[in-house]
A = this chain, B = another copy of it.
Amino acid sequence: MAEPRLLIEQKLESGAAIALDEAQARHAGTVLRLNVGDTLRMFNADDGEWRARIVEKSKRGMGATIFEFIRPARAAPDLDLLFAPVKRHATDLIVEKAAELGVRRIFPVTTQRTIAETVRVDRLSTIAREAAQQTERFDAPEIHEAQSLPRALDGWDISRRLIYADEAGDDANAPWGGDTGRALPIAEALGSGPEGSRSMALLIGPEGGFTMEERRMLRSLPYVVPVSLGPRILRAETAAIAALSVIQALWGDWRRA
């Protein structure tokens, strides 16, 4: 098993004494089973990744000393995820996998067909952080409070492409493309890469899809790229993971630097 990794907000530098906060110490003790003398990695997006040794362990917390620089932080693509909250288990999965797939910011959005369960930002932040720690990235996705789709799009930076998974619905025989036809297949719609800005976002709807009104509104926006994810019906969490993967493969940092 790889040496454990903890995201630490404090400044990381050689010789620094790091006090783990209560949640971190609990995680380090019970999940990672770290004891005095064990080494672990600490990282953040400013200071990169360092190696530290646990020097103190008590009921109240844990202390570690940094002794080795491992590598500088690497910037990840500027990729946001907007998704309509679904059942708790599926929402958790979306957040965990978005963290693994390199999403920077996560915005729960309510749509006309969203059957909203309450979104608990603190809980999702913990999931995102734990997934980020295991995945060799240097930050954890920011989780934002839920807001309505129109509000999320209000003041949108038009240089940020919004890739939106548009259901074929009953229109499987409709022509491809245009204002009313089926969304182009995702690989074709993304093509060989975005022109200009590399900022991007993915929008995934609820299980029931977007309403016609929402689809028309989305398609009228100049920064929106509607895409299709094939002939099978995907659950919301599958659509999110699938589209993020194709985005990273074609537009993101799965390509050669």
B-binding segment of A25-33, A34-42, A132-140, A156-164: A132-140
Contact of A238 among B101, B187, B188 (CB under 8 A): B101
Q: How far is the CA of A100 from the CA of B90 in the complex (A)?
A: 15
Contact of A230 among B232, B241, B248 (CB under 8 A): B248
Q: How far is the CA of A74 from the CA of B168 in the complex (A)?
A: 16
Contact of A100 among B232, B246, B254 (CB under 8 A): B232
Would you give the shortest CB distance from A105 to chain B, in whole angstroms? 16
In the complex, the answer to whether B186 meets A254 with C-beta atoms within 8 Å is: yes
A interface size (C-beta, 8 A): 41
Q: How far is the CA of A74 from the CA of B173 in the complex (A)?
A: 13
> What B residues does A137 contact at CB under 8 A?
232
Closest to A207 in B: B1
In the complex, the answer to whether B242 meets A135 with C-beta atoms within 8 Å is: no
List the interface of chain A (C-beta within 8 A of B): 1-2, 74, 93, 97, 100-102, 134-137, 176, 185-188, 208, 228-235, 238, 241-246, 248-250, 252-256
